[in-house]
Amino acid sequence: MNNSRLWVVDDDRSVRIVLSQALRDAGYQVHSFDSADTALSALETETLPDLVITDVRMPGTDGFSFLDALKKRHDTMPVIVMSAYTDISSTASAFRGGAHEFLSKPFDIDEAVNLVARALPEKTSEKETRQNEDGHELLGSTPAMRELFRAIGRLAQAPLSVLITGETGTGKELVARALHRESPRANRPFIALNTAAIPAELLESELFGHEAGAFTGALKKQIGRFEQADGGTLFLDEIGDMPAGLQTRLLRVLAEGEFFRVGGRELIKVDVRVVAATHQHLEALVKAGKFRADLLHRLDVVRLQLPPLRERKADVPALAQRFLEQAAKQLHAGAKRFKPEALARMEQHDWPGNVRELENLCWRLAALAPGESIGLKDLKSCLRSNEIAVESQNVWQQALARSTQQLLSRNEQHIHAQLREQFDKILLETALDFTDGHRQQAAEKLGLGRNTLTRKLGTSRTGKSNEPS
């Protein structure tokens, strides 16, 4: 028999009855109150509870004020805040006020009982978050997203490094922004840098800044991203692509909070929370010697794994409608809505590009769909092209896998060189066919120099030496 004393505070009688009975069945001693005011009065006369569960929106004293009053009198008392309003601003208020857990309504009764069990032995705090001030949102009601929302709420208040992992297009930067926005650093800068988008020779200067004359072209002093983010949050996207030499410098900053600008002698001290993200398997990169194990440990204090859209297809309709509304508004295209059959078809799609693919699709439909209602006819052409691309990609990948298996089974040597040569030949000749034999055009299409294309093709294909005038 559990002797823990629980208080349930909610103006909704049905919630009080159902939740209180479930907790009693679990062995707890439960006392329920229909308002925060009656619960506050009971604090003066009754034995203190071991845990309080309170609603947010109630007549008289609301749940936030009640939470504040509880914490002023008994700052270590675990409090679970429950509400049907799970936007970031609401839940953040609860956690800043000292809530240990957040329970969203409507809730599963078993989930509520388990939440109480977790909150009693130790202080925890989770919340559900959504809104992003720039109009982009983390939306979702599936269990995976609800758990992610609560984790964001919990971690926003903790000064810990966070590593966000997930496939491309899942919304890693949105998570980083939410962590910053609901943290004590919210009034300080949020600085984002995609480490894969900056040439390796420039990345050091981007991160740490440089002094005038530090290298050719450095005509004046530049403040780096770490200094820009002082007091706030630095988001390093695609951290797996960071060059080895810079990994060492980054490790020092994380460990010591200090660095030198490129070409500088002044030691710069900063207070920066680093949030990193990657779609790569960093443990595999560590084994391959491409990523420092000690840096991974510094970055991976807490890890958040973002689910791909195909694992939360129930969120697709809400996401699609929101993206469509935003796109139509910005394009001044008039209000548009998806027909039910279109939403059902979109739920069947696997979305290899994740949320970003869905958002791009909605922008195309907002611009191109002629009517206010978007049906299957409008949707098919856009989705068909995506599916063909994915199908084609899968076909060549499967063929490559089969060829590799055959070569391995025959104990062939230099397999990588063989397949790379074949790949290059097919790629280059296809580009030449596409451009009617014009090597310059083919090279440009492939992102190669013409000399490179010629060297790789040799004399096997003459092509046309001059471009048409």
Per-residue confidence (pLDDT) for residue 233, from 0 to 100: 94
- Quickly tell me which residue has 């451009």 as its tokens: 435
Picking from 47, 54, 48, the residue whose alpha carbon sits closest to that of residue 32 is 54
Picking from 283, 274, 238, the residue whose alpha carbon sits closest to that of residue 254 is 274
Strands, sheet with 79-83, edge to edge from the N-terminal-most edge strand: 29-33, 5-9, 51-55, 79-83, 101-104
Per-residue confidence (pLDDT) for residue 467, from 0 to 100: 42
pLDDT tens digits, 383-432: 655 544 444 444 466 667 767 777 776 777 778 878 887 777 788 878 77
**% of the chain beyond a pLDDT of 90:** 27
| Amino acid in the structure at residue 425 | K
N-term to C-term CA, the chain: 90
pLDDT band at 343 (very low <50, low <70, confident <90, very high): very high
- Asked if 289 contacts 295 with a C-beta cutoff of 8 angstroms, the reply is no
What's the mean pLDDT in 236-253?
A: 92
pLDDT greater at residue 225 or residue 75: 225
| 67/81 Cα distance (integer angstroms) | 8
Per-residue confidence (pLDDT) for residue 234, from 0 to 100: 95
Per-residue confidence (pLDDT) for residue 428, from 0 to 100: 80
Q: Has residue 466 got a pLDDT over 70?
A: no
Cα 245–chain centre separation: 27
Q: Kindly report the number of other CB atoms within 10 A of residue 286's CB atom.
A: 16
| 37/188 Cα distance (integer angstroms) | 37
pLDDT tens digits, 51-91: 899 888 888 888 888 888 887 777 777 888 888 765 655 56
Query: Is 310-388 CATH 1.10.8.60?
Result: yes
User: What is the rounded radius of gyration, in angstroms, for the C-alpha atoms of the chain?
Assistant: 28
Residues 6+ apart with CB under 8 A from 147: none
| SS3 letters across the chain | CCCCEEEEECCCHHHHHHHHHHHHHCCCEEEEECCHHHHHHHCCCCCCCCEEEEECCCCCCCHHHHHHHHHHHCCCCCEEEEECCCCHHHHHHHHHCCCCEEEECCCCHHHHHHHHHHHCCCCCCCCCCCCCCCCCCCCCCCHHHHHHHHHHHHHHCCCCCEEEECCCCCCHHHHHHHHHHCCCCCCCCEEEEECCCCCHHHHHHHHHCECCCCCCCCCCCECCHHHHCCCCEEEEECHHHCCHHHHHHHHHHHHHCEEECECCCCEEECCCEEEEEECCCHHHHHHCCCCCHHHHHHHCCEEEECCCHHHCHHHHHHHHHHHHHHHHHHCCCCCCEECHHHHHHHHHCCCCCHHHHHHHHHHHHHHHCCCCEECHHHHHHHHHHHHHHHHHHHHHHHHHHHHHHHHHHCCCCCHHHHHHHHHHHHHHHHHHHHCCCEHHHHHHHHCCCHHHHHHHHCCCCCCECCCCC
Weakest-pLDDT range from 15-19, 252-256, 297-301, 399-403: 399-403
- Asked if 93 contacts 129 with a C-beta cutoff of 8 angstroms, the reply is no
| Amino acid in the structure at residue 379 | L
> Hey, do 159-305 and 310-388 end up sharing a CATH topology, with the first three levels equal?
no
pLDDT greater at residue 301 or residue 410: 301
Cα 343–chain centre separation: 24
Per-residue confidence (pLDDT) for residue 236, from 0 to 100: 95
Q: Has residue 131 got a pLDDT over 70?
A: no
- Asked if 306 contacts 175 with a C-beta cutoff of 8 angstroms, the reply is yes
pTM above 0.75, yes or no: no
| 245/291 Cα distance (integer angstroms) | 10
- Residues β-bridged to residue 374: 338
| 260/253 Cα distance (integer angstroms) | 10
What's the mean pLDDT in 355-370?
A: 89
Q: Where are the domains of the chain?
A: 5-139, 159-305, 310-388, 413-457
- Altogether, the residues listed in the chain come to a count of 469
What's the mean pLDDT in 251-260?
A: 91
Q: Has residue 335 got a pLDDT over 90?
A: no
pLDDT tens digits, 450-464: 667 666 666 445 555
Mean pLDDT of the chain: 81
Residues 6+ apart with CB under 8 A from 151: 126, 304
Q: Has residue 272 got a pLDDT over 60?
A: yes
Per-residue confidence (pLDDT) for residue 394, from 0 to 100: 47
Per-residue confidence (pLDDT) for residue 134, from 0 to 100: 40
What's the mean pLDDT in 18-30?
A: 86
pLDDT band at 92 (very low <50, low <70, confident <90, very high): low
Query: Is 5-139 CATH 2.60.120.10?
Result: no
Q: Has residue 137 got a pLDDT over 90?
A: no
Q: Indicate the fold that domain 159-305 takes in CATH.
A: Rossmann fold (3.40.50)
Q: Has residue 164 got a pLDDT over 90?
A: yes
What's the mean pLDDT in 340-358?
A: 90
